[in-house]
Amino acid sequence: MKLTKDFWEEKYKNGDLKWDIGHVSTPLKEYIDQLEHKEIKILVPGAGNGYEVAYLQMLGFRNVYVVDLAEQPLKRIKTACPDFPKDRLIQADFFDLEENGFDLILEQTFFCALAPERRADYVQKMKAILKPGGKIVGLFFDFPLTEVGPPFGGSKTEYENLFKPSFQIKILERAYNSIQPRKDKELFFIFEK
């Protein structure tokens, strides 16, 4: 299966959005709530319908960028956040993103939506677009990696082996505040460049 733009557009067209929880997830909300500096440069890759983007906007974060392959979720974010700058809603492949110098990148069900053979590229792209000291923060699924996906799973050990050569692993633990359907199935992490 090719995880192309058309694949994702089709999912949005058919309303086949099993990942879409309809609101900012508790672990990301609680992380965002303790951020002190509203001017930091934030990226939400593979943002989908972008509930965390709307949440950041509501709290007054004004240096937020979104990249998604699909057009439909970007349109939805535009409607939900009319003041969000249009040039920061980027319809592109994450791996081709030119914008860089991010302080923070928020991850949720984007990594698991990529073909597993792109994982090493994901680590390198993240490293390339973060500032020194910048962080990727978010959630990874904690169920075995199989051929069946997306979502493609993984384990704490697999994630450690993948990220440790390029990032300082500050936290990589079972999330205590997952939404009910994801309880005991996800790891919360903070990786620092």
Ligand X SMILES: C[S@@+](CC[C@H](N)C(=O)[O-])C[C@H]1O[C@@H](n2cnc3c(N)ncnc32)[C@H](O)[C@@H]1O
Residues near ligand X (CB under 6 A) are 3, 8, 19-20, 45-49, 67-70, 73, 93-95, 108-110, 113-114
DSSP string, 58-113: HHT---EEEEES-HHHHHHHHHH-TTS-GGGEEES-GGG-----EEEEEEESSGGG
> Minimum Å distance from CB 113 to ligand X?
4
Residue whose C-alpha is closest to residue 88's, from 74, 101, 108: 74
> Minimum Å distance from CB 142 to ligand X?
16
Given the complex with ligand X, which of 66 and 162 has the nearer CB atom? 66
Given the complex with ligand X, which of 129 and 132 has the nearer CB atom? 129
Given the complex with ligand X, which of 168 and 177 has the nearer CB atom? 177
Given the complex with ligand X, which of 73 and 134 has the nearer CB atom? 73
Given the complex with ligand X, which of 41 and 125 has the nearer CB atom? 125
Q: Alpha carbon 7 to chain centroid distance?
A: 18
DSSP string, 137-165: EEEEE-B---SS-SSP-B-HHHHHHHHTT
> Minimum Å distance from CB 118 to ligand X?
8
> Minimum Å distance from CB 75 to ligand X?
12
Spatial separation of the C-alpha atoms in residues 98 and 172, rounded to whole Å = 28
Q: Report how far apart, in Å, the C-alpha atoms of 143 and of each of 93, 117, 138 are.
A: 26, 17, 16
> Minimum Å distance from CB 155 to ligand X?
19
